[in-house]
Amino acid sequence: MIKYPGIDPIALQLGPVRIHWYGIMYLVGFVAGWWLGRRRAAQPGSTWKAQDVDDVIFFAMLGVILGGRVGYVLFYGLGYWALDPLYPLKIWEGGMSFHGGLIGVAVALWLFAWRRRRRTADVYDFLAPLPGIGLLAGRVGNFINGELWGSETTVPWGFEVDGVVRHPTQLYEAALEGLLLFVVVWWFTSKPRPRLAPTGLFLVIYGVSRMLVEFWRVPDAHIGYFAGNWLTMGQLLSLPLLVTGLAMLAWAYTRREPSGNYAR
């Protein structure tokens, strides 16, 4: 058993300005994605330029922030919204959804692809290996905030929180949805793959990882479980990602269309 250290979520305060660790983790994620994208664009044969990476990361940032907030309100916060009409605007109170952010990014990247006359699938594939470090950092931010804990446990790596030993499910997610996803998809995309295969693999790994960790993660108190003591909102939202990812992989290796991210 490990005693949770109770980390101050505020990293730095300058007068009335407070800089939160969670916000820093978002910055780490965006900078890491930008740097990795620049590396991929610099590879021989890439059809991406440095300026393209700068622009697509900007579009992705907007999609993550807007989609993540809207998704949280719709998936988890309708009760809060009913009590406070301004709740969706109060981003300083927290509340971001990965699934909402993913939808927001998908829309933003479609707009980017349309403006640049690229295939949307190619843009998705280029971005697929980039978010892993950001997802890892975000879950570390959840751990620092002391939120999204798991169920009670007796495992030696459990953390004592308010007198109860719990699974550190934020760290489980950091390892699976973040580090594992990044390593596998980055390796997979180190050479040309059929169109939509990278995106499909990203969705499969994330979907499986999230659904697995949800068996130990305690759901939001105002939502609870949907069936018995195991089916959660996170699992319901991740199942379509898993199915879509498997369908993309099947389509990719059936059609074997060459990626537009590499010059032919």
Question: pLDDT tens digits, residue range 242-258?
Answer: 999 999 999 999 999 99
Determine the 3-state secondary structure of 191 from DSSP: coil
Most distant CA pair in the chain, distance? 61
CA distance linking residue 255 with residue 193, whole number of Å: 12
Q: pLDDT tens digits for 161-173?
A: 989 999 999 999 9
What is the pTM assigned to this prediction? Answer: 0.91
CA distance linking residue 38 with residue 199, whole number of Å: 19
Per-domain residue ranges for the chain? 6-149+166-192
Alpha helices in 128-196 (DSSP H): 132-145, 169-173, 181-188
Q: Distance of CA 153 to CAs 88, 123, 165, 212, Å?
A: 35, 42, 6, 16
Highest-confidence range of 58-72, 89-103, 203-217, by mean pLDDT?
A: 203-217
Give the chain's mean pLDDT.
91
Q: Distance of CA 145 to CAs 23, 185, 240, Å?
A: 11, 28, 29
Chain centroid to Cα 102, Å, comes to 7
The DSSP secondary structure of 76-125, one letter per residue, reads T-HHHHHH-TTGGG-GGG----HHHHHHHHHHHHHHHHHHHT--HHHHHH
Q: Is 151 exposed, middle or buried (0-12, 13-18, 19+ CB in 10 A)?
A: middle
